[in-house]
Amino acid sequence: MSELRDDQWFTEVFDSHGSAFSLKITEKLLDVQSDYQHLEVYATETYGNLMVLDGCVMLTDRDNFLYHEMIAHPALFTHQDPKRVVIIGGGDCGTLKEVLRHPGVEKVTQIDIDAEVTKAAERFFPALVASNNDPRAELLFADGVKWVDDAPDESIDVLIIDSTDPVGPAEGLFKTDFLKRCHRILKSGGVMVQQSESPLYHSGSIIRELRHDMREAGFNSVATLPFPQPVYPSGWWSITLAGKATDVNTFREQAAANHALPLEYYSVEAHRGALVLPPFMRKAFAAE
């Protein structure tokens, strides 16, 4: 194996699990310290452009479709008729783009605290911001927790928490109190979805606690769906769905099978398969 030279490779080290992930870089394109986090963009040799926040990989051109499709489409096909959608976080706008592929959606509001992320996406990830001018889209740069606090009761069909890891600006998005407020603003039959970290590293900790807290917040059903994500710790990631007076372990299979959306990963078969958890995850959740 060749030596990893710092000037040629970006490496994210995940100390708590003794692992790291590296990409060979050709150029640093952006280095900005916003009011909230340190934002970098690199050109890589094989993964296109790379966005990094506080030293953690957020996305690359090559594989971001995996995450963006899975945080958006399972929730939208689980809800019976999604019209009003809210995204907390998601400043790169990739999730917004996926939600707007659904013609039945009437309005999508995205609330991200850091405008610098969206500015970077506009410059270096133009494909992700391609739908930002859709008349159904509303982009706000504000505190997502406060926005939820101020939102009317039962006013939203689908709530997507597209956050970074549960530290720093995103820490509050994983707390029981916040989940209760999310439950309040969802209509009956509403669906919430949250990125929920690595199945391999976090099934017995972050994911299990999130599922418990979602139920404590009043959601009657939860479902965790794992999927591949090569650039994230362990190469494997997850979303967790929660339903308000609806079962998130079922979805509109016929609609998911017959859609004409130009997707690269999500399919009715991928959705069905992701709902079938491997034994080690079922064991981690057995005491729920």
92 a known binding residue? yes
Query: 118-157 b/e with 16+ CB inside 10 Å = b?
Result: bbbbeebbeebbebbeeebbebeeebbbebbeebeeeebb
| Residue 149 among the catalytic residues | no
Residue with tokens 């990631």: 237
Among 63, 114, 157, 162, the active-site one is 162
Both tokens assigned to 202: 């976090």
**Are the C-beta atoms of 254 and 274 separated by less than 8 Å?**
no
Q: Let me know how many helices (H) and strands (E) the chain has, helices first.
A: 10, 12
Phi, psi of 20 (to 5 degrees): -155, 160
Q: Is 149 annotated as a binding residue?
A: no
Report the candidate in 21, 98, 7, 82 with the shortest Cα–Cα distance to residue 55.
21
The reply, when asked if residue 152 is annotated as ligand binding, is no
202 marked as part of a ligand binding site: no
Burial environment of residue 234 by CB neighbours within 10 A (0 to 12, 13 to 18, 19 or more): middle
Do the annotations mark residue 164 as ligand-binding?
A: yes
37 known ligand binder: yes
169 marked among binding-site residues: yes
Q: Is 144 annotated as a binding residue?
A: yes
Q: Is residue 143 marked as binding?
A: yes
Q: Any binding-site annotation on 162?
A: yes
Give the residue ranges of the annotated binding site.
37, 68, 92, 112, 143-144, 162-165, 169
Give the residue ranges of the annotated binding site for spermidine.
68, 92, 162-165
**Residues annotated as part of the active site:** 162
Give the residue ranges of the annotated binding site for S-methyl-5'-thioadenosine.
37, 112, 143-144, 169
